[in-house]
Amino acid sequence: MAVNDQPNAGVGSGGVRQRSRASIERRILEAAESVFAEAGFNGATTAEIARRAAIPKANLHYYFNTKEELYQQVLTGIVSTWLHTADEITADADPARALAHYITAKIELAREQPIPSRVFANEIIHGAPHLGSYLGTELRAWVDAKAKVIRGWIAAGKMREIDPKHLLFMIWASTQTYADFASQISAVLGKEQLSPQDYKAVARQVTEIILRGCGLTPPAQ
Amino acid sequence: MAVNDQPNAGVGSGGVRQRSRASIERRILEAAESVFAEAGFNGATTAEIARRAAIPKANLHYYFNTKEELYQQVLTGIVSTWLHTADEITADADPARALAHYITAKIELAREQPIPSRVFANEIIHGAPHLGSYLGTELRAWVDAKAKVIRGWIAAGKMREIDPKHLLFMIWASTQTYADFASQISAVLGKEQLSPQDYKAVARQVTEIILRGCGLTPPAQ
DNA sequence: AAAAAACTTGATCATTCGGTCAGAAAAATC
DNA sequence: GATTTTTCTGACCGAATGATCAAGTTTTTT
């Protein structure tokens, strides 16, 4: 029997165990997230993850058979979080408002959840060896769909003619740099970390530059 | 005696050895560069570096005592390459031309030398544990100087009022994403790799968006 | 309360890794 | 050509790591 089969599956009264299992798995995943972000997949050790989760290493391997499986779950969690950040980019939306909302949301995410972002960035930098076909299938389809929306905006004369996909890459880069390269930005600015006001100013400036660059007028603050 | 002391230092006729040493050290550094880029510092193994350099591992440790020393040399090489890419950003330059030149040069660099860029990016993502004080001293001074130039442009009414440092961060992010996250971009675009024309188009679009975003008129192609 | 299932954990193993070492080979120096 | 210096290399070592296992404890089920 596989050690990770759902215990008490379908048992209505068996809630305590399930809650406990979910709780400890979440604790392990959070610990893993931070260790993977700091050291990458290769540098991360199950011992360190177990230490941060405050459990013996053998117990960690009871919940997650291999380090690879743990890493996969972390990546999956990040990806599923990210898929719905651009929901406002739709055919009938106002381009300026939709893009401004997207950029602001991405900067917010960089501020609130920099750690998963770094795990993902690390994975991409090393050629995405653990992501399987995700980039070329799901993410590609997502980008194709959003690009189609933006091309629709352009065709309707709502914005200047630009390449939609490279615009998306530019938005990703300009926003995620505040999560992925935070150590560089902090050091260069001489600040331990950016304040909420800093992030707000960043969101405003990035939004302004990109919208004006697309021939749009940024919405009033 | 330290094993890496320069042999025949100052001996005019000892050129062959020196050339040979320089040549093999370069081969090792190139091998190390690619391994560090693919696996990060922790994931890289001296055995794999030696294999790619086509020498026994013990011989690698003859030229570079520790993996750390090898990594430091790789990082140092990258940094010194990067320091002079924005030489055109000077007080009396035309902002549009200077920024356009900088962005184009950075995209070129992303195309020609993506591997060192990835080593550096990896280092930053993990909190720059091997970079010592470089970010907070030299790079910070560099950014301060360039920011001062840009602030001068703004004061002279040559461009819209923006935060110069975050503009630089945005340029770094938008250009280096084509080196650091190349695997993601290729997969999403469904191309094995971008063509020179693709890079040219990217440089043009990034330049246009950023310059217009700064209230500047992009120079004609 | 007995039996079964789920969970916990210290001890342990095989493998891998960075680095060392002694001695051989090659080159330079005299 | 003898001596010294530099370069090369297989064999080896201690430490760290991912994973396992057997023997427990706790919880659930009957």
Q: Which nucleotide is nearest to B46 (CA to C1')?
A: C18
Closest CA to B91 of B167, B154, B165: B154
Integer Cα distance of B134 and B210 in angstroms: 28
Q: Round and report the angstrom distance from CA (B67) to C1' (C10).
A: 34
Cβ neighbours for A176, distance < 8 A, ≥ 6 positions apart: A106, A110, A117, A121, B173
Strand C, nucleotides covered by protein (CB < 7 Å): 5-11, 16-22, 27-29
With 0-12 / 13-18 / 19 or more C-beta atoms within 10 angstroms meaning exposed / middle / buried, residue A217 is: exposed
- Pick among B119, B177, B194, B199 to test the A interface (most A CBs inside 10 A): B177
Task: In chain B, list all ranges with CATH 1.10.10.60.
Answer: 15-71
Instruction: Provide the pLDDT confidence category of residue A10 given band limits of 50, 70 and 90.
Output: very low
Phi, psi of A134 (to 5 degrees): -55, -50
- C-alpha B112/C-alpha B121 separation (Å) is 16
Indicate whether B150 pLDDT > 50: yes
Query: Smallest Cα–Cα separation from B169: which of A196, A189, A166, A89?
Result: A189
pLDDT of residue B83: 78
Segment A88-108 mean pLDDT: 96
Report the distance separating Cα A39 and Cα B42, nearest Å: 7
Residues of B in contact with A125 (CB under 8 A): 37, 118, 121-122, 125, 180-181, 183
Nearest residue in B to A211, CA atom: B213
Give the pLDDT confidence score for residue B81 in this predicted structure: 81
Mean pLDDT of chain B, nearest integer: 91
Is B208:A208 a contact under the CB 8 Å cutoff? no
Contacts of A61 (CB under 8 A, 6+ apart): A46
In a mutational test of the A interface, the residue from B42, B167, B172, B188 whose CB has the highest number of chain A CBs within 10 Å is: B188
CB nearest A170 (choices: B39, B40, B209): B209
CA-nearest of B139, B162, B152, B172 to B213 is B162
Distance of CA A133 to the CA centre of its chain: 18
In chain B, where does the domain assigned CATH 1.10.357.10 lie? 83-213
User: What does the alpha-carbon distance between residue B167 and residue B215 come to, in Å, rounded to a whole number?
Assistant: 13
- H/E stretch holding B176: helix B164-180
- At residue A145, the pLDDT reads 97
Interatomic distance A198 CA / C10 C1' (Å): 49
> In sequence order, which residues have a C-beta less than 8 Å from that of residue A104 and are 6 or more positions away?
A203, A207
Q: How big is chain A, counted in residues?
A: 221
Superfamily of domain B15-71: Homeodomain-like (1.10.10.60)
Delimit the CATH 1.10.10.60 region(s) of chain A: 15-70
Cα–Cα distance for residue pair A159/A150, rounded to 1 Å: 9
* Burial of B124 (C-beta count, 10 Å sphere; 0-12/13-18/19+): buried
Tokens of A156: 């309707």
Using a CB-CB cut-off of 8 Å, the residues of chain A touching B162 are 205, 208-209
| Angstrom distance (rounded) from CA A34 to CA B6 | 43
- CATH top-level class of A15-70: mainly alpha
Contact residues, chain B, for A202 at CB < 8 Å: 166
**Look-up: residue for tokens 């165990």?**
A17
Put simply, the answer to whether B187 touches A213 (Cβ < 8 Å) is no
**Which positions in chain B touch A213 (Cβ < 8 Å)?**
208-213
What contacts A32, CB < 8 A, 6 or more positions away?
A44, A49, A53, A70, A71, A73, A74
Which nucleotide C1' is nearest A7 CA? C6
Q: Cα separation of B51 and B60, whole Å?
A: 10
Q: How far apart are CA B177 and CA A132, in angstroms?
A: 21
Q: Look up the CATH architecture of domain B83-213.
A: Orthogonal Bundle (1.10)
Res B8: pLDDT: 37
Is the pLDDT at A2 greater than 50? The verdict is: no
Confidence of residue A77 (pLDDT cuts 50, 70, 90): confident
Residue nearest to nucleotide D5 (CA to C1'): B7
Which of the four pLDDT bands, split at 50, 70 and 90, describes residue B18? low
- pLDDT band at residue A195 using 50, 70 and 90 as cut-offs: very high
